[in-house]
A and B are shown apart, each in its own frame.
Chain A
Amino acid sequence: MKIIHLFKVFPVAVFLIVLYSCKNEVKEEIITNQISTEAVSQSQKGQAFIEDESSTPNVLQIAIKSPDHTTLVAAVQAANLENVLVNAGPLMVFAPTNAAFKALPAGTVEDLLKPENKEKLAAILKHHVTAGNYDKNFLKNLVKQMIQMLL
């Protein structure tokens, strides 16, 4: 799982899986990048779609360029969350990699990508975003504190 900070890209922080992975059993599954074309065409408007060569890439543009986040991007597009992700924030996105999606039970992702489950998908994805401006050290300390509490 990768953390994509709104301003900077952070390396993998494995321990976060403890905090953010789903409760569901982990199984391998191949995920196709099927997206409803209707959803895409509806979602092609707004601040996420401004042609802008000059600004620093935002979190969505970074994810789109990342080969490890194709499933996440497909899910974000299916849920029409592009404009939310590029909001002024500050937002921190805990971005599941393709591998993390593959670890979900068979059929989970395909099911969520269906148009009728758009709201459910959006709700799940929004749980991977937190408002705030936290740096790596702050999160490390937080995890340490939480582990100590559990022990």
Chain B
Amino acid sequence: MQKLTVQEVIQGLKLEVLAGQGGVNREVTNPSLSKPGLELAGLFDFYEHDRIQIIGSKEGAFFHWLDVQDQEIRVRMLFEKQPPAFVFSKNVVVPEVFIRFANQFQIPVCKSTYKTSSLFSELFAFLQAKLAERTTLHGVLLDINGVGVVITGKSGVGKSEVALELVRRGYMLVADDIVEIYQREKGIIIGEAPDVLKKYLEIRGIGIVNVVYLYGVRAYRENKRISMIVNLEKWDDAKEYNRLGLEEDKRIIFDTEIVHLTIPITEARNTATLVEAAANDYKSKHLGYHSANDFNDALNNKIKQNAKKE
């Protein structure tokens, strides 16, 4: 499990710390959030005290329904369980009692510039990105017309060279060689480069090049959702390759299925064009047009018609 401190959350979401500064080094271990509405109503059986607590407009309004004594007791109970931090959304006025307990327990109370639902989703995405389990893929990640494609294959098969050609054609490099990936949520795998390698591409015979300097800022993207994996391999006569594209191979990463293609390469095949075509075909399917199925339907109709004529 990755480690994250409240301080990093404060910086990441540009939160304003109102009290409890002494607790900014507290650790956040749970990527989920909690809105302690039930708890303010007096029910603490379900209090998720290992999560960051969000006080939204609803909780903020409800708080003022309580009499002073209940406010005091319940907020104290919220703090006593030592959650990592409290974050108030944009339009909630932070009650004095929170400030007092924040300083007493040294638990940060912060204020966001987002409204409740945006705060919830922004903070959730941030925590997922920081705390999600990470792994690496050996390959090159590119954004081709909005499709995140990881090119894999043995060392020396020409992954980086293909990437260079695709960058030259106007697509974006995300990561060369080492792609760090995590699952933001089921179905969404995000890839990015490790810090040292960001923007760099290694080309045999030339060396390490910075694509932003060579091709401009449009040639680089920080991170990208991965839609497909294209595996390049030397043409093998003994192997059967997908000819029609009616079936799709999938590869499972964490618990997300990713389309997986194997493209054989030879001198006569322009690999960059093949990868580009694979990405465009993926996009076309995503937009609702499946070339292979369309072809297949037309063919089946033709066969039926011919059968009738007999």
Co-assembled chains A and B:
no
